[in-house]
Amino acid sequence: MTFNELLERIQLPIRYNFTRNEISEIYNLPLPSLVFLASGIHQQRHPGNNVQLSSLLSIKTGGCKENCAYCPQSAHYQTQLEGQGMLDENEILVQARKAQAMGATRFCMGAAWTSPPQSGPMYDLLLNAARNVKALGLEVCMTLGMLTQNQADDLKEAGVSYYNHNLDTSPEYYKSIVTTRTYDDRLQTLARVRKAGMSVCCGGIVGMGEKTEDRFGLLEQLNHLQPHPESVPVNMLVKVEGTPLSQSENIHPIELVRMIATTRVVLPESKIRLSAGRLEMSEETQALCFIVGAASLFLGEKLLTTGNPSGDADKALIQKLGLTPEQ
C-alpha cells in the first residue's frame, strides 16, 4: 500500500463490509504505515486526545455455569477466587461514588451469570442499582450475560446506557473457548440490546491461543454489525491458575498494538477501550495503544476479579502522555 493510498483510506466513509482478507492486509501493514493510518483516523474521528475513565465492579462474583476457558468465575474450574453473592444497593452506590471521585464518568457493573433472573428481589435490585448510579450523573453499563427482550427493555428503562456482551473471538475459534453457549446466542443478545435502544459494548480477547486469522474473524463480525458497536473493549488475556488457558503463551505487545490499530480502521467511530491485561503492559505499549486508537481505560486495582494498575499509576500515565480525561 502506498503512502497516498493510506491518505485516501483515512478519508473513507464508514463501511460494514470489510472482508477478512482486507482486514489481514491492514493488520499486516509495516508497523509505521499502520500507526500512521490508524492514528490519522483516530485524530480525525476522535479529536482532542481525550480519554474516558471508567470503573468496573463485580456485583456478583463466581459460580457461573458457563465454561469460558479464560474465566476464573466459571464453576467448571478450581481457582483461588472466592465467590460473592449479590452486593446490596448501598454498597454498589458507595463504590460508584468512589469511582466518580477518582474521575470516572462511566460505571460498569458485572455479574457472573448465564443470564440474570427474570423477576424477583435480585432482579429489582439490578434495576434499582442502574437507577441509583444514573442519578449520580454517571454513564451506566452492565454485563450480566444473555438477555431476553423484556430484560433488555427493562434495563434501558432503568437507565442503562450501554450493555456489554463480548464476542471474544472468531466464530470458528469460539468453540475452543466456550461450549455452554453458542456464538449465535451472543449475537441474539446484541440484537436485543440494540432493539431496546441501549448502546452496544462488544469486543474480544487476544492471547487465548488464537491464530491471527481468528482476530480478523472477530473484527469482521464486529464490522458487519449495523450500526457498529459504540464501545469496543480490547482485552489481553489475564492468565489465571486453574483455568484451561493458564498456560497460554504470551503474545508480543506489538500484536496488541496491531489489533487496536486495525480495530480503529475497521470501526472508525467506535470508542476502543484498553481493558484487561494492563498490569502486564509497559507504559510504552499503552502509549502506542492510545496513539493508534484506544480512547478509554478502567480505573481501580481490580477489573471484576483480576488485577489492574493503581489509580495513581494511571493518573501519572495520562499526564505523561498529555491525554485529557473526559468530563
**Active-site residue, selected from the candidate residues 106, 108, 192, 258:** 108
97 is an active site residue: no
Has 108 been annotated as catalytic? yes
Given 15, 45, 71, 194, the catalytic residue:
71
> Among 273, 259, 271, 282, which residue's Cα sits nearest to residue 303?
273
User: E-assigned strands of the chain?
Assistant: 50-60, 106-111, 139-143, 162-164, 199-201, 204-206, 231-236, 271-274, 294-299, 302-303, 306-307, 324-325
Residue 324 burial class via C-beta count within 10 angstroms: exposed 0-12, middle 13-18, buried 19 and up: exposed
Known catalytic residue at 201? yes
> Are residues 102 and 299 in contact, defined by beta-carbon separation less than 8 angstroms?
yes
User: Catalytic residue at 141?
Assistant: yes
Is residue 71 among the annotated active site residues? yes
Task: Please report, for the chain, the start and end positions of each structural domain, with discontinuous segments joined by +.
Answer: 23-320
Q: Give the per-residue pLDDT at 158.
A: 97
The pLDDT of residue 312: 83
149-200 confidence digits (pLDDT tens): 999 999 999 999 999 999 999 999 999 999 999 999 999 999 999 999 999 9
Is residue 273 annotated as a catalytic residue, yes or no? Answer: yes
Give the integer Cα–Cα distance in Å for 146 and 310: 31
Between vectors from CA 177 to CA 206 and to CA 229, what angle results, nearest 5°? Answer: 55
Q: How far is 103 from 30, CA to CA, in rounded Å?
A: 37
DSSP conformation letters of 37-81:
HHHHHHHHHSTT-EEEEEEEEEEEBS-BS---TT-TTBTTS--SP
Catalytic option among 181, 192, 273, 278: 273
Residue 85: other Cβ atoms inside 10 A: 11
Distance of alpha carbon 126 from its chain centroid, rounded?
21
Name the phi and psi angles at 305, rounded to 5.
-130, -5
Q: Which residues pair with 297 in a beta bridge?
A: 53, 274
Does this model's pTM top 0.75? My answer is: yes
- Distance CA(139)–CA(49), nearest Å, equals 20
Residues of the chain scoring pLDDT < 70: 1-3, 6-7, 10, 302-305
Backbone angles phi, psi at 4, to 5 degrees: -65, -35
Rg (CA), the chain: 19
Residue 200, SS3?
A: strand
Q: What pLDDT is attached to residue 308?
A: 80
Terminal alpha carbon distance of the chain: 39
Contacts of residue 115, Cβ cutoff 8 Å, sequence gap at least 6: 144, 145, 146, 147, 148, 151
Annotated catalytic residue, options 201, 202, 258, 264: 201
User: How is domain 23-320 classified at the CATH fold level?
Assistant: TIM Barrel (3.20.20)
Are 134 and 159 spatial neighbours (Cβ–Cβ below 8 Å)?
yes
278 is catalytic: no
Q: Give, as one character, the DSSP assignment of residue 279.
A: G
Catalytic residue among 106, 141, 181, 278: 141
Instruction: Identify the pLDDT of residue 303.
Output: 65
Q: Tell me whether the omega of the peptide bond preceding residue 227 falls within 30 degrees of 0, making it cis.
A: yes
Q: In sequence order, which residues have a C-beta less than 8 Å from that of residue 191 and are 6 or more positions away?
A: none
129 three-state secondary structure: helix
